[in-house]
């Protein structure tokens, strides 16, 4: 083999590697990104050490809605400087009024049916309580989301740090892919009760 074909072969390999790296980072930046769950705030829907795929593309035309599970940059006051993104469920979108009373969540005056809320070993679903001494009613500004973890007693969320601007949301978690035997699409509840006017 002459030196010229060897150099040409090496250049082709380098071009392929560079293109692969560019595509990989392009997909992670604009399309989808893997995310490792590191907190217990979404139990039992998502457990620590599980991996989900975060959709970063569709929110550009399909706005976040009630029930979506999203990954976001937490406020500096709640992240303790760790830089680890949070994962929570959308409970209110711009214009919604979210209330916590008697251990339940109300959106625009309608009590939410939330079957995903954590249940203890006794099978009893946790109550949703406001932060001690904190607000019990929030008006969600346009361009913001009100977020809560499914493990309500083990979740630093909008009850303590308020709403999160959509600009700080990384994307919508839609697929749990690891461990492989837990592979599943993360279903979004429909909340049919919100389709009817409050009594």
Question: Domain residues of the chain, as ranges?
Answer: 1-30, 33-195
Average pLDDT over residues 193-198: 74
Q: What is the pLDDT of residues 154-195, one digit of tens each?
A: 999 999 999 999 999 999 999 999 999 999 999 999 999 998
Average pLDDT, the chain: 89
Kindly list the catalytic residues. Answer: 41, 88
Task: Please give the sequence-ordered ranges of beta strands (E in DSSP) within 40-194, or none if there are none.
Answer: 51-55, 69-72, 86-93, 97-101, 104-107, 110-111, 137-139, 144-148, 164-165, 169-178, 184-185
Query: What is the per-residue pLDDT for 197?
Result: 58
pLDDT digits (tens, 9 = 90+) for 113-150: 999 999 988 999 999 999 999 999 999 999 999 999 99
Q: Provide the whole-model pTM.
A: 0.85
Just give the CATH number of 33-195: 2.10.109.10
Determine contact, residues 118/44, Cβ cutoff 8 Å: yes
């Amino acid at each position: 083999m002459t030196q010229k074909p060897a150099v040409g072969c090496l250049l082709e390999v380098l071009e392929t590697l560079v293109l692969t790296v560019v595509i990989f980072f392009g997909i992670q930046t604009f399309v989808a990104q893997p995310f490792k769950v590191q907190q217990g705030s979404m139990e039992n829907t998502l457990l620590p050490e599980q991996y989900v795929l975060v959709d970063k593309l569709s929110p550009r035309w399909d706005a976040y809605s009630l029930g979506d599970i999203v990954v976001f940059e937490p406020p500096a006051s709640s992240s303790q400087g760790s830089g680890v993104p949070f994962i929570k469920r959308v409970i209110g979108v711009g214009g919604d009024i979210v209330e916590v009373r008697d251990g339940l969540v109300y959106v625009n005056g309608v009590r939410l049916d939330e079957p995903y809320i954590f249940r203890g070993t006794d099978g009893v679903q946790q109550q949703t309580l406001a932060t001690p001494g904190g607000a019990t009613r929030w008006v969600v500004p346009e361009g913001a989301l009100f977020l809560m973890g499914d493990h309500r007693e083990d979740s630093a969320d909008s009850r303590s740090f308020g709403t999160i601007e959509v600009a700080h949301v990384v994307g919508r978690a839609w697929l749990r892919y690891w461990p492989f035997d837990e592979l599943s699409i993360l279903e979004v509840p429909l909340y049919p009760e919100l389709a009817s006017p409050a009594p």
